[in-house]
Amino acid sequence: MIRPSRQHLGFWAFVAHRVSGVALALFLPLHFLALGLALEGAAALDTFLAVADNPLFKVAEWGLVVLLTVHLAMGARVMVLELLPWRDARKGLIGVGAVTALAVGTVFLLRAG
């Protein structure tokens, strides 16, 4: 049985913000590996980029863009709620964040294809 507080849309916005933050933190070592390989020389970076040309990496790249957008949008929502007197716009801000994440993900898919 789900507690009533966990059925609120704000709770799920909180979960989306936290999960996207953790997922982005888990991505960082791979990003730093790519940067380190770039410093080692062109051959090492080219090898990494050849592996990253795999379709699975392309799907993961799309997921990363969506996660970044979710994290940005939900973080901006928290800042608006903390700093501005817009208390009645909570659900609207969650919707704007979700739609923004989907729109950015869609644009990324269309541009990558």
Given 3.20.20.120, 1.20.1290.10, 1.20.1300.10, 3.30.70.260, which CATH number is that of 9-112?
Answer: 1.20.1300.10
pLDDT surpasses 70 at 12: yes
Higher pLDDT, 93 or 24: 24
Higher pLDDT, 108 or 112: 108
pLDDT tens-digit map of 16-74: 889 999 999 998 898 898 888 888 888 888 888 888 888 888 888 888 899 999 898 88
Q: Where are the domains of the chain?
A: 9-112
Output the DSSP codes for 34-73. HHHHHHH-HHHHHHHHHHHTSHHHHHHHHHHHHHHHHHHH
* pTM attached to this predicted model: 0.74
